[in-house]
């Protein structure tokens, strides 16, 4: 069979595909024609929407079906049971059948369409197995969503894969939020460093220029002849000194109030960031608990499988002796 992977369709074409999937009338040559018509289409959008909308996108009731493109599906095809798939997808297909049985058993699609759906489904699950969370993008998650929803629309029993995809999406959102948290913490550190440097610079300037600034204060708003006739201007100088002291105290008070405002803003930002971090940690704890539960279930399945294999082996040995 040729390569049946399909990029994003235009609305009219995808509505036709939806109808033919439901009737089971889509043939191989039709899939190829659709692929040629859409070879230059993109595979995901580059919207600036919030990543928190990702779960809504996954749950959205789509009227347009998309056969996503997966690389590496060319080459040798071999048969497992009723299905002929690329050799690279055989381990994934075997695992699905082993754990969940033939998920296409209840599908009314014709064999060629069933194989096409199995191909994108297995390719999606294989990518999940091959990639780590740090390598995932929203585009890739939506591509997996398309493959799984095509299978669900074809009456494949793959609810398990959709539930797992939602967990992956939650983990991806958590990772993105954690990165934002680190960026905010870095900005806070930079602001605190700038504030500290500014305070040191202020103190240094005050210390180095104190004599000159004090002299300048004596002349501000006055004739520069002040002081040449001390006997006549003594009272005036005393009043000026008192006024200067009051101005200096006002300046210090304003500086202290400004520092308090800046400190309050920084502490508020730290508290908000800390709370977001705690929320993310709580989500991570829940996800780790679910992962632990899934690992325990997988271990239980492995033990059951081992017991079944041992039983089959023992039954086979006993039958040989009896004959």
Radius of gyration of the chain (CA): 36
Comparing 314 with 175, the larger pLDDT belongs to 175
pLDDT for the residue 311: 86
Helices of type H across the chain = 11-23, 28-37, 54-59, 90-100, 111-130, 138-153, 159-208, 210-219, 230-322
Question: Residue 31 above 70 pLDDT?
Answer: no
Whether 23 and 152 have beta carbons less than 8 Å apart is answered as no
Query: CA 126 to CA 144: how far, in whole Å?
Result: 10
Reported as a single tens digit per residue, the pLDDT across 238-250 is 777 888 888 998 8
Whether 66 and 34 have beta carbons less than 8 Å apart is answered as no
Query: CA 165 to CA 159: how far, in whole Å?
Result: 10
Average pLDDT on 204-228 reads: 85
Average pLDDT on 154-170 reads: 95
Which band of pLDDT confidence, cut at 50, 70 and 90, is reported for residue 44? Answer: low
Query: Could you tell me the two tokens for 237?
Result: 């100088």
- Rounded to 10 deg, the angle between the 28-37 and 11-23 helix axes is 170
Question: Residue 171 above 60 pLDDT?
Answer: yes
| Segment (H or E) for 84 | strand 83-86
- Rounded to 10 deg, the angle between the 159-208 and 138-153 helix axes is 160
Reported as a single tens digit per residue, the pLDDT across 134-160 is 999 999 999 999 999 999 999 999 999
Query: CA 35 to CA 38: how far, in whole Å?
Result: 5
Reported as a single tens digit per residue, the pLDDT across 53-89 is 888 888 887 656 668 888 878 778 888 888 999 999 9
Most confident segment among 33-37, 142-146, 237-241, 309-313? 142-146
- Structural domain boundaries in the chain: 11-175, 209-322
């Amino acid at each position: 069979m040729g390569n049946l992977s399909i990029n994003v369709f235009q609305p009219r074409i995808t509505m036709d595909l939806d109808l033919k999937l439901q009737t089971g009338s889509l043939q191989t040559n039709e899939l190829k024609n659709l692929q040629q018509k859409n070879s230059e289409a993109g595979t995901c959008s580059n919207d600036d929407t919030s990543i928190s909308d990702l779960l809504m996108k996954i749950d959205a009731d789509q009227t347009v079906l998309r056969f996503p493109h997966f690389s590496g599906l060319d080459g040798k095809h071999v048969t497992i049971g009723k299905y002929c798939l690329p050799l690279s997808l055989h381990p994934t297909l075997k695992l699905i059948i082993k754990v969940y049985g033939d998920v296409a058993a209840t599908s009314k699609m014709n064999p060629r369409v069933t194989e096409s759906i199995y191909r994108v489904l297995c390719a999606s699950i294989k990518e999940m197995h091959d990639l780590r969370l740090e390598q995932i993008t929203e585009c890739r998650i939506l591509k997996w969503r398309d493959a799984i929803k095509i299978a669900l629309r074809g009456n494949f029993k793959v609810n398990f894969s959709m539930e797992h995809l939602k967990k992956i999406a939650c983990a991806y959102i958590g990772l993105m939020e954690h990165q934002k948290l680190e960026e905010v913490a870095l900005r806070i550190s930079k602001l605190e460093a700038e504030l500290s440097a500014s305070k040191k610079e202020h103190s240094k300037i005050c210390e180095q220029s104190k004599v000159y600034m004090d002299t300048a204060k004596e002349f501000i708003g006055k004739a520069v002849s002040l002081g040449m006739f001390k006997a006549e201007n003594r009272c005036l100088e005393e009043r000026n000194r008192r006024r200067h002291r009051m101005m200096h105290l006002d300046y210090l008070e304003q500086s202290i109030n400004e520092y308090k405002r800046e400190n309050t803003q920084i502490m508020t930002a730290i508290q908000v960031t800390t709370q977001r971090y705690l929320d993310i940690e709580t989500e991570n704890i829940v996800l780790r608990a679910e992962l632990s539960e899934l690992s325990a279930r997988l271990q239980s399945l492995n033990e059951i499988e081992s017991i079944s294999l041992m039983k089959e082996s023992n039954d086979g040995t006993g039958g040989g002796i009896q004959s």
